[in-house]
Amino acid sequence: MSGLPAFAVGLCDDAAVFPPGLAPLPEAVPAHLRHRACAYGELVGPFVLAAPALGELGPLLGELGPLLGPGGGLDLVVTVPGGPEQIAEVARAVEALPVSLRGLEVVVPAGAAPAEFFAALDHACADAPRLSGVPVFVEVPRDERRAEIVSRLAESGRRAKFRTGGVKAELYPDETELAAAIKAVVDAGVPFKATAGLHHAIRNTDPETGFEQHGFLNLLLAADAALGGGAESELAAILAERDGAAVAARVAALGEERAAAARSRFLSFGTCSITDPLTDLLNLGLIPDDIAGAVPGRREGN
């Protein structure tokens, strides 16, 4: 056991191969395995890979056999950018790999009606027995389809994925939009994950791009507030909070029960760097200092 607090366990999905990190797969997978073996390893969730790259994974895992541990497999989440029609291909590819599939993240194609999308998703999953029991996340589009998609997620027992940033400023939802999305899924009982743009624990303005970036701890507290019946305006204020000490104090005050409840809704977030969020948490005093020596290249104040 790492001694990590409840809110931090499994918080960071390893999306090292995605922008802006774009780590080469032969470097990213061994780095992921090393992270999982470190003192802070419980912070790190599955490795995330896009469906088209699955063909590159088999030979690499064959070479990395000793690093894969006693189970001999890689915990993997697969993103499915082509929508439900790509799921059969993913199932075939995964069947031949030494992996434990921890989730599918399926994109809703542009212009697809929610009813048609979910019918296609149901059909694709039913035709792929290998995927039975694998959590399916639906990437909720930022348009008028959101309310119906959230409703159908609740009916089907599937999960939501929100994009919270990207390589352009317009890809970042503001705090009002994100607050509405979080409240919608929490009220509907739909667990969610987030990806893109969550480079730091606290809401910030990126000094290089000028982009307004959400903080992953702000999202955690927003999920907690939504569970407590908070209004969208309260959630928006939490998402906009930039005082790191204040946010850290609120997170520390959650306690194990509330933290676990919040994490049952905000499941994880994808990050192209494990060390950046880890360093933020260390510098905020939220995880034990005795793992600091295991963090590659850590500098105070990162």
Distances (CA, A) of 290 to 34, 36, 129, 152: 18, 17, 44, 45
Q: Which stretch of DSSP H or E encloses residue 247?
A: helix 244-252
More confident residue, 152 or 297: 152
Residue 70's pLDDT is what?
A: 58
CA trace torsion 64, 67, 72, 75 (10° rounding): -90
Which whole number is the average pLDDT over 18-28? 94
Query: Which H helix or E strand runs over 32?
Result: helix 25-37
The answer, yes or no, to whether residue 299 has pLDDT greater than 90, is no
Q: What is the pLDDT of residues 170-201, one digit of tens each?
A: 999 999 999 999 999 999 999 999 999 999 99
Q: What is the pLDDT of residue 63?
A: 80
Q: What's the chain's average pLDDT?
A: 92
Average pLDDT over residues 209-232: 97
Greatest alpha-carbon pair distance for the chain in Å reads 51
Exposed, middle or buried, 142 (CB in 10 Å: 0-12/13-18/19+)? middle
Residue 250 pLDDT > 90, yes or no? yes
pLDDT at 64 over 90: no
Assign 291 a pLDDT band (cuts: 50, 70, 90): confident
Q: Using CA atoms, how far apart are residues 34 and 148, in angstroms rounded to an integer?
A: 41
**Average pLDDT of span 85-114:** 95
Give the DSSP H or E segment for 213: strand 212-213
**pLDDT number for residue 274:** 95
Least confident of 65-79, 94-108, 165-179: 65-79
- Exposed, middle or buried, 34 (CB in 10 Å: 0-12/13-18/19+)? middle
- The pair phi, psi for residue 139, each rounded to 5°, is -75, 110
Above pLDDT 90, what percent of the chain? Answer: 84
Mean of pLDDT values over 222-239: 98
Higher pLDDT, 44 or 59: 44
pLDDT at 47 over 90: yes
Where do the H-state alpha helices sit in 82-209? 87-95, 114-126, 146-156, 175-188
- DSSP run (H or E) holding 138: strand 136-139
Higher per-residue pLDDT: 69 or 266: 266
The residues near 246 (Cβ < 8 Å, ≥ 6 apart) are: none
Residue 284 structure tokens: 């905020």
- What structural domains and CATH numbers belong to the chain? 6-285 (3.20.20.70)
Quick one: pLDDT band at residue 301, thresholds 50, 70, 90?
Answer: very low
How far is it, in rounded angstroms, from Cα 9 to Cα 30? 21
**Which of the four pLDDT bands, split at 50, 70 and 90, describes residue 302?**
very low
